[in-house]
Each structure stands twice: as structure tokens, then as C-alpha cells.
Amino acid sequence: MDSLKDIELQLRGNAEALYKEANTHQVSGDYDLSNQKAIEAVEAFRKLKDQEGETKAIYLLGMNSLLQGGKLKKLNEEVEEKNRSIMESLDYAKHIQESILPHTSMLRQYFSDSFVFARAKDIISGDFFWIYEKENEILVAAVDCTGHGVSGSLMSVVANSLLNQVTSNQWMPNPSFILNEVNHYMQRTLAAHDDSGLRDSMDIALLSIARTKTDLLFAGAHNSLYIISGGILTEYRGDDISMGNGASAKFSGHKIKLKKGDCLYVFTDGYADQKGGPNNRKFYYDPFKALLLSIHTLPMEKQKIQLHRAMDEWMGETKQIDDMLIIGIRI
């Protein structure tokens, strides 16, 4: 293994040689660096990446000569241009997705004290809020589609279409019936068990709330419903299967009586699964329940702020690993 001094001398020599080459060829416009020299500079940096002081300065000196012109500079420009193009495409995809999916403001049309906490891992998300109203029932769902980013957003558009199709064509405000029907269509439309081995699926927590706000029906695929009533949190679990992962699956339901002031929460797994804290571990569901209990007396919009603040503190500098979605409703 080379000593630190040997590596410094090697990199200094590379830097000086690159400067001479740059000065010779940039004037004539035929600047052309060999890949080998670029590789040598990068490899030397890797060996020095944890060092401080002069060694970093030497590296920067060498890399600066590369960036002054030549193939690396051109490559950098090409990458930046492609990144701009990708970002523009993602921004437009987000615009299209938002125009198709229900807007979160629709929830307040039916429940004045409510919130939708949505934090995408990337620009576009596989988690989405869904709402549908007909006759005397209001359907609300937190949906988590396979993946995140582009793949998740494409699935979200398909899932939204299937939910709308089932509820409009076969109106029955029963969440378990709706999940069974959507699951059937997903099997047929997406061919989840094809030869590729891929699984297009979604997890969901679906509520059907009577306009009288006294009765609630719930069904879920992996996702649960939390109700805080009288300072006590009760969990209603969804079935332990994802939609699209079993044609024969039959989803069950819960019928629940509501009282004024009850707080309802449905969500995807992104919040509880986010890593952070001093030991870089998952947030987990028990602390999530405790957090909701500690803030549930606040107005829903302030609860949303507290959820953002708690997650920011938990994550610190840790990168977000999944899309996050939480829906809160006070009866």
C-alpha cells in the first residue's frame, strides 16, 4: 500500500502534468485528456478522501485542471444537461399526476378539521390521498403503490382509476367490497403474476364515513386505522396482504360507531419506517402512536405541523427512504 507521502507526490505530479497539457492544448482548442490520467486522479482522491489539509488541496488542484477543459468538463456539461432534462420531465409528470389525483383540499370540504400530510421521497410519489362522495357516504383512503418516484406515480394513476371505476360502476359504500373488486381488476389488468416475477401491488386503508358522522366502515390491505377517542388510541388492523398479490384474497371489514371529537388516522408505512435518531433505526409504530396521542388535542392543521417537525428532528441528515402519507380527521 502506498504511503500518504507517495500518494501526495503522485497526485502532485499528475496535477502539474495536467496543467502543462491544458496550457498547451487549450489555446489551439484540441484539448484532449487521456482517460488514464482522469482515473489516476480519481483513484488518488479515493485513497485520500478521509485525509485533511494539504492533501485535499493537492486533489483539488489536480481536479481543477481536469475541469478547466477537456473530456471531463464536456462530460460534466452533458450530465448537467441530462439532469436538467430529467428534472423538467419529473416536474411535468408531477403536474400531470396532481391533475389526475384528488386534491388534498377536497378533504376539508367534508371535514373542516382535517389534514393530509404528504412527503414524497422524490418529486413524484407512489403514495396518494383518495376521496369519493356519493349519496350519504364519504370514502377516504390512504394508498401506497409499489415503489416510489416514477414507478410509484404510474401505479398511483392506475390505482386511482380502478378505485374510481369500481365505486362509480358498482356503487356499494362498503370498503371490503371495494377492495375485493379493485383487487380483482388489478389481477386482470396488471397481470401481477406474470413470468417477469414482478409484483404490481398496493397497500391501502379505506374508510366509508356516513354523512351523519356517526358510523364508519373500514377495510385495509396491510394498513391500519387508528382512532383516538377519550384519550385512548384503538388500532383496527387491515388484512395482512397487499392488493394485487393474490387473486383469491378476500378482504374483511370493521364497523365502528363514532362520537363527536373522535380523531381518525390512516397512513402508509413511510413515516414509521423512516430511519433516523442517534442509532439510525426506524421510527416504528409505537412511537408513532405515542406522538399522535401527544398531539391529538391540537387542531388538525397544527398536528400536521408537529408531524413534520418531529420527522425533521428524527431524520436529521438521514435521507428519506420512502414516500410518507398520513390523513387525519376529527369528527
- Can you give the pLDDT at residue 195? 53
CA distance to 4, 7, 39, 43, per residue, from 46 (Å) = 12, 11, 11, 5
- Can you give the pLDDT at residue 192? 46
For residue 8, the number of C-alpha atoms closer than 13 Å in the C-beta half-sphere is 11
pLDDT in tens, 293-309: 999 999 999 999 999 99
Domains plus CATH for the chain? 4-74 (no CATH), 104-330 (3.60.40.10)
Beta strands in the chain (DSSP E): 114-119, 127-134, 137-145, 202-210, 215-221, 225-229, 232-236, 254-257, 263-267, 275-276, 281-282, 324-330
pLDDT in tens, 216-242: 999 999 999 999 999 999 999 999 988
Residues of the chain with pLDDT > 90: what percent? 47
The region that residue 277 occupies, defined by phi over 0 for left and psi between -120 and 50 for alpha, beta otherwise, is: left
- Can you give the pLDDT at residue 255? 96
- Can you give the pLDDT at residue 155? 81
Burial of 75 (0-12, 13-18, 19+ CB in 10 A): exposed
pLDDT in tens, 169-209: 888 889 999 999 998 888 776 654 455 555 668 899 999 99
What residues in the chain have per-residue pLDDT under 70?
A: 1-76, 89-90, 92-93, 95, 97, 147-152, 189-200, 245-248
How confident is the prediction for the chain on average, in pLDDT?
A: 79
CA distance to 235, 275, 282, per residue, from 311 (Å) = 22, 10, 11
- Can you give the pLDDT at residue 37? 53
CA distance 11 to 8: 5
Q: How big is the chain, counted in residues?
A: 331
482548442: which residue's cell?
A: 29
CA distance 136 to 143: 23
